[in-house]
Amino acid sequence: MTTAVPASPRLEPRELTVHGHRVSYRTAGHGPVLVLMHGVTDSSDTWTPVTRFLSRHFTLVAPDLLGHGESAAPRGDYSLGAHASGVRDLLTALGHSRVTVVGHSLGGGIAMQFAYQFPERCERLVLVSSGGLGREVHLLLRAAALPGVDLVLPFLASSHVLRVGRGVGAALDRVRLRPGGDVAALARGFASLDTAGSRQAFLHTLRAVVEPTGQRVHAGDRLHLAAALPTLIVWGERDSIIPLRHGREAHAAMPGSRFEVFAGAGHMPHADDPERFAAVVTDFCRTTEPVQLGADHWKPLLRGPPGDGDGP
């Protein structure tokens, strides 16, 4: 007799309405909750490679941030704080009170903001090639923050340009000049902006954190707060979107943090080596105690590290 092999767990797409807007999310697994937050122009689908590994031990909740994926793209606030509040509201609607927050790229900035705004909801913090830790960022993202780009985006997302792009990509591939994986992922992200709403949401989100000269948001003045929060930092050795140096410097500034570099990986280490990524996250959660902080936990720490203030 042959024993049937169960299908691999996958992120099941679901949606609900929060504050009158459609919020799409994906979920899988059972156990302590991991919230998985994607990067700009991306969606919850970015976590598909790690689902079958992480869902063995955790309940996964992967939202499409507003303006991304299948979620609504209303006019409104697309700042890090607004995205963090939106994730908090989704978790509240789903009945999840305390979670480990995992954020990739832009999602890393949102994860840090979530931990800062809602410490009572955050048990651990995992930053994956995170934004918000330094000025440098890829030229394409800086260029997208330039005035007038909104006039160009519809052309970049047109079906004709996508067909031409695929043809050019195939030609470059034949002569071994094809753009690297990180740039290709950015190009796919720009191509996904196929509605006026998604393009405007992208620009509002990007310009909240990036300007033509680099990242405009830097968490450096708050990283010392992570002493109270178990923190894991994961970075791809060959990340060409946000430099590895940002991860090293953040690790040095975050007391007690754990730092993992994925050899040969680019900006998406969770996709380049999903099995190792899941093993690292699982081990981190198993070897750290979930913290229970109060809503006002940061109050006595807000004047900065000892010796860093301007006076008594």
The catalytic residue positions are 105, 239, 267
CB 133 within 8 A of CB 220: yes
Type of residue found at 302: L
Helices (H), 34-158: 48-54, 80-94, 106-117, 139-144, 149-156
Q: Write the DSSP symbol of residue 76.
A: S
Q: Write the DSSP symbol of residue 8.
A: P
- Spatial distance between the Cα atoms of 116 and 247, rounded to a whole number of angstroms: 19
What is the helix (H) or strand (E) element at residue 63, kind and residue range?
strand 59-63
Please give the structure tokens belonging to residue 39. 């990067």
Question: How many residues are listed for the chain in this entry?
Answer: 312
Q: Write the DSSP symbol of residue 99.
A: E
State the pairing for strand pair 231-236/258-262: parallel
Q: Which residues pair with 233 in a beta bridge?
A: 127, 259
